[in-house]
Amino acid sequence: MKDLRKLKHEHLDILKEIGNIGAAHAATSLSQMLNKTIDMQVPAVNLIPFSELSEALGGEEVVVAAVLLRLEGEVPGNMFFMIPLEDANHLIGSLIMEKDLNLAEHPMHEMGASALSELGNILAGSYLSALSDFTKLNLFPSPPAVACDMTMAVLSFGLVETAQYGDVAIVVDTRIHEESNVAKSPVKGYFFLLPDPESLDTLFSSLGIQVDE
């Protein structure tokens, strides 16, 4: 798949289904970990021009705590799990019992970074194993790496391969959040799957979908 603009609706639907299955598994994992109900939104799959990425993903100035797993194997790409900074401080802080945790500090709080990376590893791991079961493809995620910074700065790291093919990224965008009936803002998390363009052919043909070049 050299030109992402040749993707059709049926291709996007497949990616949406992948996001759906992946996030459902991740939500279950998180729910077990926190002993809370976790909801997920209907996934969105979009081809987004680089110039519009920041707007599409929540604004330029938003600071997020991010976990990145680089995917090797049959479907190379990048998998991000992101939590807005305040939610991340709250969530990770409660996991390691550190009340005034600020993950944005450099260098990152050691225990905080470790907990964030483990959380991302578990959630992205369940997302990816669901994807692997669904497609029968081998995925080998790298150990997790963490960063806490502006959304675009974090994401640009995952666009190096995509940028060599064109100016649009295919983003499988799935969001989960804590169910809450009180006024307190629920914790939100975002999964962004950015498959390298070359891996889309493998992905689609594993599910019996033709790709016309």
Residue 133 in contact with another protein, rule: CB under 8 A: no
One-letter amino acid for residue 43 of the chain: P
- Residue 68 touches another protein, criterion: CB under 8 A: yes
Question: Could you tell me which of 149, 3, 159, 4 has the C-alpha nearest to residue 70?
Answer: 159
Say whether residue 166 binds another protein (CB under 8 A): yes
Select the residue interacting with another protein from 3, 13, 39, 179 (CB under 8 A): 3
CB contact set of 52 (below 8 Å; sequence gap of 6+): none
Binding to another protein by residue 34, rule CB under 8 A?
no
Token digits for 81? 């799990």
H/E element, 85: helix 85-96
Contact 81, 66 (CB under 8 A): yes
Which of residues 88, 101, 115, 154 is near another protein by CB under 8 A? 154
Options 37, 41, 138, 142; binder of another protein; rule CB under 8 A: 142
6 binds another protein (CB under 8 A): no
- Long-range Cβ contact pairs of 28-34 (< 8 A, separation 24 or more): 28/126, 29/122, 29/123, 29/126, 30/123, 30/176, 30/189, 33/119, 33/122, 34/178
Name which of residues 91 to 130 contact another protein (CB under 8 A).
104-106
| CB of residue 61 to another protein, shortest distance in Å | 7
CA angle 27, 168, 205 (to 5 degrees): 65
In the complex with another protein, the residue whose CB is nearer, 123 or 155, is: 155
**Residue 68 host element (H or E):** strand 63-73
CB of 166 to another protein, least distance (A): 6
Position 140 contacts another protein (CB under 8 A): no
| CB of residue 146 to another protein, shortest distance in Å | 7
Using CB under 8 A as the criterion, which residues of the chain lie in contact with another protein when the complex forms? 2-3, 50-54, 60-61, 63, 68, 70, 104-106, 142-143, 145-157, 159-161, 163-167
